[in-house]
Structure 1
Amino acid sequence: MLPIIWWLGIIVCSLLRIQLTDTAKLIPHMGYYIEMKQMDCVGNPNYFADMYCRIIPPKNRTMEASLNVMQPMSAFSGSLRVSIPNAKKVMTQIFDITFDGCKVLRERKRKIIIDLLVNTLAKNGSGKLWRCPISKGKFESRNISVTDLPPMLTESEFLVNLDFFIPKVATVMNVTLHGHLYEVAKERHRRKKYL
């Protein structure tokens, strides 16, 4: 049931080309926030140095990341995989998207989840990495929070794996994020019940 709801939300938003923030205004009781539990990032030292990422306590709703690009990259690809638990609490992959990184940045025509990723990082970072070719230098992004989620999601634990690679050459970075998606209306109801 959950994968159908996720896909339905993504397909509806993509087909209608509704701005996610406008959709949230139309349905004010719908809203989500993400609480992150664990985040790991690993970079290939031939391409990245001084790489770190961390979740910012106490609410665990924002994160920050920094890396130093050691050599320019004129082409790279990415793979984004999202998993949620099934009825038996086993993490099950609900989608897997592979994309040409430079084409995504150049054309600005992306799948909705990639658009969310790029916009989230770009609005909180130095912006240096988000043009191809990617040049040498330091990139930092602070107070990264995921907002503007599609309105037809459901509360769930999730696991996100994001890999960047140069096709047939090397994997250059892996980011793994484990967390929980909460619906604001349900969370408010739970608080009222117990407070």
Structure 2
Amino acid sequence: MEVLSRGDLPSVKHATDTLHIFSTCSVLKVNIDKTDAYFGGVSAALKQQILCETGLSEGSFPFRYLGLPIYPSRLSISMYEGLTVKLSSLLQRCQSEYLSYGGKIQVIQSIVFGLGNFWGSSILLSKNISKYINRACRQLFWGSPDHGTGSVWCTWIRHYFLKECSIWDLQIKEFYPECLRGVLIARDRTANQLGGMQHVKELL
């Protein structure tokens, strides 16, 4: 259980009195040995008075509550280790089970997004972690970039867009997905810088 209070003696005393009333009514007591007090913006003298009043020990940040890291300022990447480890193990388990595309979508919607939303509803996720979650979902569905031409993404591009055409001859169209248009734009820029498409083909 987590109890929040203002950093002054009257507020802390009111919180402890309320806990005592709760203990009397429910026969549930606070285990002082497993309970710590955390402070922010409190002077050393007042902190010592509060610790003496409550009999608690001072805890240090970060600590975990319901599996989530609690810290008074912005979390560093390393503090999201619980989330990244769970996502990594989930990816490895799903990839080893050879799920169908429908099964992968179900995993992404119910588990991966659920895990990310659980964290996101309690703490502010950094942009890097949001990108990590999106990348994990993308790799689970489309396949890892390490899989090369065997990935679902490459198969989709070849089947629906390239067909019988070469990537060197494919013209950019507005309805193409952004990822494919980005590849084609990079292709054309490279060709302009290196003296033509034929020269790029010869270099590759």
Give TM class, smaller chain.
under 0.3
Identify the structure with the greater strand proportion: 1
TM-score (norm. length: structure 1):
0.20
Identify the structure with the greater helix proportion: 2
TM-score (norm. length: structure 2):
0.19
Greater C-alpha radius of gyration: 2
Report which structure shows greater RCO (CA 8 Å, sep ≥6). Answer: 1
